[in-house]
Amino acid sequence: MIKGITFLRPAASATDFERLTGFFSALGFTPGKGWQEESSRGAAFLAPLGNLEVIEGELPSEASVFVEVTQLDAVREAALAWFRSTGVDPHVADIADTGWKSRIFTVEPAEGHKFSFWEWTDPLKGKPLAVEGDLCAEGMRFAIVAARWNAVITDRLVDGALDALLRSGAARRHIEIVRVPGAWEVPAAARIIAERVPAFGGPGSVDAIITIGCLIRGETAHYEAIYNEVARGIGQSQQETGIPHTFGVLTCENLEQALHRAGVKAGNKGFEAAVSAIEMVSLRRKLLQTGEGA
């Protein structure tokens, strides 16, 4: 039974590899499972849907990879912003109409690697299967509330969260980092920040809060009690203020497990919490804008 399809993009050099992975991350692709061996490595990028298309006749562009999107102008802006951040002249074509009721542009993030992004203009086509948040963080404001306890872990989680936000287009000046003593204090600080939004009469404003901490069972007295209260407090702050709070508080059996979840072997949960925050801000905006998220 056919299960999935993978298109390989051989990068000619480490520089090309970094450029391509940076580009796809900046455009909001969900990272897949990468791999690293002695003489080769792979970075995977996932899309919700894919298909293999056989074509006879003229191709719509020189690119061999076509990425269907829902907000073509925003994607092009994100591509331009990524080029600006790398200091290389943008290889981003203008958006053009196609002959099949859609618009398209082609981008070349590394020499010889052309990708076309397109969206349907026909309102009856290409409707998203579900209302979903996008992963473009441009213009969004975030707070990261991080516990200092187990800083060797939480610092890595903060780095992961920053990496995700910046690579998704957030501006550094729109990211506030708040440190608290331990996980226990995370909900209270998050709540203060969440209530600072204009709707609550305060001066500051964030679109989402990323909470970060690390509880280690073997080293934490009353581990369950602390964990339950931290989770409850963060959830309550989210529900009662309406500001998305994402959960980057690790609960681990030991330090080794915590390290794995902080970027060593099992991803970086700070990165994941930040990506979820971006998605929730976008989703919230869509749902509030239309009432049905169209």
Task: Indicate the DSSP class of residue 93.
Answer: P
Q: How far is the CB of 245 from ligand DLZ (least distance, A)?
A: 17
The residue among 21 and 220 lying less far from ligand DLZ, judged by its C-beta, is 220
Distance in angstroms (rounded) separating the CA atoms of residues 214 and 59 = 52
- Report the distance separating Cα 274 and Cα 146, nearest Å: 12
The yes-or-no answer on residue 222 being catalytic is yes
Residue in 90, 182, 267, 293 binding ligand DLZ, rule: CB under 6 A: 182
Contacts by 121-128 with C-beta closer than 8 Å and gap 24+? Answer: 121/97, 125/101, 126/68, 126/70, 126/102, 128/70
CA distance 180 to 189: 8
Tell me: does residue 183 bind ligand DLZ (CB under 6 A). Answer: yes
Q: Least distance (Å) from ligand DLZ to the CB of residue 215?
A: 4
Is 257 a binder of ligand DLZ (CB under 6 A)? no
Give yes or no for residue 153 binding ligand DLZ (CB under 6 A): no
Question: Closer CB to ligand DLZ, residue 8 or residue 221?
Answer: 221
| Residues in a beta bridge with 116 | 66, 106
Give the one residue of 34, 48, 50, 181 binding ligand DLZ; rule: CB under 6 A.
181
The residue sitting closest to ligand DLZ, measured at its beta carbon, is: 182
Write out the DSSP string of 253-280: SSHHHHHHHBTTSS-BHHHHHHHHHHHH
**Using the rule CB under 6 A, which residue among 68, 119, 134, 185 binds ligand DLZ?**
185
From 91, 113, 174, 222, the catalytic residue: 222
Residue 54, amino acid: V
> In this complex, which beta carbon is closest to ligand DLZ, that of residue 169 or of residue 213?
213
Q: What is the CA radius of gyration of the chain?
A: 21
Binding string to ligand DLZ for residues 209 to 248, with x set by CB under 6 A, is what? ----xxxx--xxx---------------------------
Q: How many other CB atoms sit within 10 Å of the CB of residue 32?
A: 13
State which H helix or E strand residue 285 sits in. Answer: helix 269-290
Beta bridge mates, 178: 145
Given candidates 118, 184, 227, 247, which one binds ligand DLZ under the rule CB under 6 A?
184
Report the alpha-carbon distance of residue 292 to residue 118 in Å, rounded: 24
The amino acid present at 103, given as its one-letter code, is R
Amino acid (one-letter) located at 31:
P
Distance of closest approach, residue 225 Cβ to ligand DLZ, in angstroms: 11
> For ligand DLZ, which stretch binds (CB under 6 A), given 17-25, 70-78, 122-130, 147-155?
147-155
Q: Tokens 């349907």 sit at which residue? A: 120
Binding site for ligand DLZ (CB under 6 A): 147, 149-150, 181-185, 213-216, 219-221
Q: Which residues are catalytic?
A: 222
